[in-house]
Structure 1
Amino acid sequence: MVCVLTMSGCWVDVCLAEMGVAAWMHPVLPAGTTRYVQMPVASGFSPVDRLTPVQPVNLDPDTTQTSSDSVQKSVHPSVQDSVLKSVHNSAQKSVYNSTQNSVRASVGDNPHGVFSADLQCEACHTSESWVPAREPMDFDHSSMTRFALIGRHQTVSCESCHTQLVFSEPVISGDGCETCHVDVHEGAFSETCSDCHDTISFSSVDGVMIHQRTSFQLLGAHAAVSCESCHDGQADGHFVIEDTECFACHEDDYVAAESFDHAGRGVSTRCEDCHTMFSWEDAFYEHAVVSGGFELLGAHDQADCASCHTPDMGLVFNPPPMGQDDCFTCHVADYNEEHANDGYPTDCTLCHNV
C-alpha cells in the first residue's frame, strides 16, 4: 500500500493504492483498487470519501510484495517529517480557531451557558466593559431563537425573562404567554391571553369587543365609558358583576337627579321605563304603558312631567287625579279663574280638546 498525503485546511488528503500487500493498514479494499479518502487530523484517522482525489502513486503489483518494506520506510518517514508536521501545525491552528468560541463560552466566568460556535462574545460585549452589553448587539433573537421579539418584547431587558442569564436554557415552554405572565384574572376569562391582549401594549385592550362576548353587551353610552366606571373597587383583573340591573350601577344618578327629583317623588327604579342606553338625559317613555292607559295626546305630550306630577303626587302609578278620566281634576285652577262665576259645566270636553 502507498499513501500520498497533501494538506487541505485541517484535513489530510490520502490516496490509498491497495494491492493486497498492506492488509495491516486498510484490509477492507480488494486488491488492485485505488481509494481516495480524507482524514481529519484533529479527530484521528476516520476516513470519508474525498471529492477531489489526489494523484496516486502507482506501483507494479509484481514488485510490491518484495518492496513493501522499502516503500513504507521510504515514503512514510518523508511524509511524517515534511507533511505531517506542517499539516499538524496548520490543523491545530484551524481547529483552535473554529472551536475557540465554544471553548470560551464554557469557561468559568461565562454565565450564559454553552453557545453555538457561530456566536462570539464580541457580539454582545466589548473589551472595554463587559457590563452593560453593547448596543446594538449582533445577536438577533428573532432569527437565532424560536421566539421572535415583537412589540413590547423588544424593549424589555434580557434579565426580565432570563433571570439567571443562562441563555442556553429556554425560559418559555411552547408559545403560551402564561410562562412569563401570571393570569391576574384567575381563569375568569379565556386561557389564551392573545384573545384579549397583544404584544404592542399588554394593558391596552379592546374592552368593547371583549365585553360583547359576555351576557351584558355594551350598547349606546355604555360603549363609551371606561371599564373602571362600572368595575370600580374590584381587585385588578377581576370584572365580575352579579347584578346587571340599571339601578345597581345608577343608584347615585337616581338620587342626585336635579331636573326631576326621582327619589323624592317616588320614581320607579326601573330606569329603562323612561331612559335608554343611548342618552340618559333625554327621557323616553310610553306613558300609556307606565300609567296604566293614560295616553298623552295633544298639549299633554308637550307638558313637563312636573306640571302634572306635583311634589304631593309624585310619580307613583296612577296618582289619584290621573286615575280619573276627568280633565277637571287637573285643570280646576284653570276653571276657577275664568268659568266658575259664569256657571260653565266642569266637563271640559264639551268646549275644549286636548
Structure 2
Amino acid sequence: MKNYKIRILLVAIIAFSVVLISWFKQTPHGDNFKISCNVCHSSKGWHVDKEIYSFDHDKTKMPLLGQHAKTDCKLCHPTLIFSEAKTECTACHKDVHESTVGQECKRCHSSNSWLVENITQIHQQSRFPLIGVHATVECSQCHKSETFLRFEVISTDCFNCHSNDYNATTQPNHAASGFSTRCDDCHNVYSNGWQGDGFNHKFFPLTQGHSVSTCVTCHTNGTYSGLSRECFSCHQTDYNSTSNPNHQTLNFQTVCTDCHSTRPGWNPANYKQHDSQYFRIYSGAHDGKWSSCTECHANTNDYSIFSCLGCHAHNKTSMDREHQGKSGYSYTSEACLHCHHR
C-alpha cells in the first residue's frame, strides 16, 4: 500500500512538472517561434528594448527595403504571432489596378515609391512595345477607365485606336481608296508622325529627288494603285524640254536612270555607254578631263558631230608635216579619232 502511494505521488509530481515547464515555455509569438527573448527584450520589461534590439529582419523572407524600413511593425504584424504576416503585396496594399496588371507590385513599383519612372521599358515586355510616337502618349489615351488605374488588356490592332484617324484622312482618302487598316503597312511605327519619314514607301523609295512633300505630287488624279513606275510616266515634260543635250532630237532612252541618279537637279548625269559605244571618256586618258558634253559636241542638235581641237589645239601645218605619208590622214577630228582611240 505504501509503495502504491509513492507511485501515485511520483506520477503527480511528473505531471505537475510537465505542466509547469510548459507554462514557463509559453510565448505570445506562437509555438514555432525560435528566437531568443533577449534579442528584443531585456529584464526591464516585455517592451522592445531598442538598446539591445538585434533582430535582423533582412534575414527573413521579407527584407525591409525602402519605405518598408520606416513602417510601424504593427501595420504588417497585427498580432504577436509574427509568422502569420503575409509577404504578398496585396496582403497589405490595396490593388488599385483591380487585378488588371497582376499581383506583383514590384513589376512596376519599387519599395521606395509608388511612382513608375520606367513605364516605357516595362511596356517593352508586353505584346505592344512602346516605340516611336507611342512612347510619348499618356497611358489613359489607350487604357481608358473611370479611375485611370485599370489597365485592361486591349487589342494591339492599329485600327482599334486609329479608326478615327483612318476615316478622317482625305489626302489620300483611305476609306475611299480601300487602304489597309493596318497602319504599319504604310506608316513607320518608329516615326513620330504620320508623314515624312513616318511613311513606308519601300516599293518605290521616296529619296533625294523623289522626296516629295505631298502624295498628290505624283498621285494627281486621286489614284493610289496601279501607277507606272517608269521614269517617263512622270518625267516626260523634263525629257521633252531638255535642250542640252536635246533628248528628243538625239533619241535618248526614256529610262532616266540610264544617265541620271535620283539626286535633285538631274546632276551629275553620266552617259556611261559612251565608252563602249563611241569613245572612252569615263576611262582612259580622258577620264576626269571634261565637265560638259558641249566641250566636244558644240552642236547640241547633232551629237554625231564632235571636235577634238577644242582641247587638243594643233597647228595644221605642223600636223600635216608630222603625218606626211600616213595613210588616211586628214586634219579632221574624225581622222584623229580613227587613229587615236584612247
TM-score greater than 0.5 by the shorter chain = no
Q: Which of 1 and 2 has greater Rg?
A: 1
Band of TM-score, shorter chain: 0.3 to 0.5
More strand per residue? 1
Instruction: Give the TM-score normalised by structure 1.
Output: 0.42
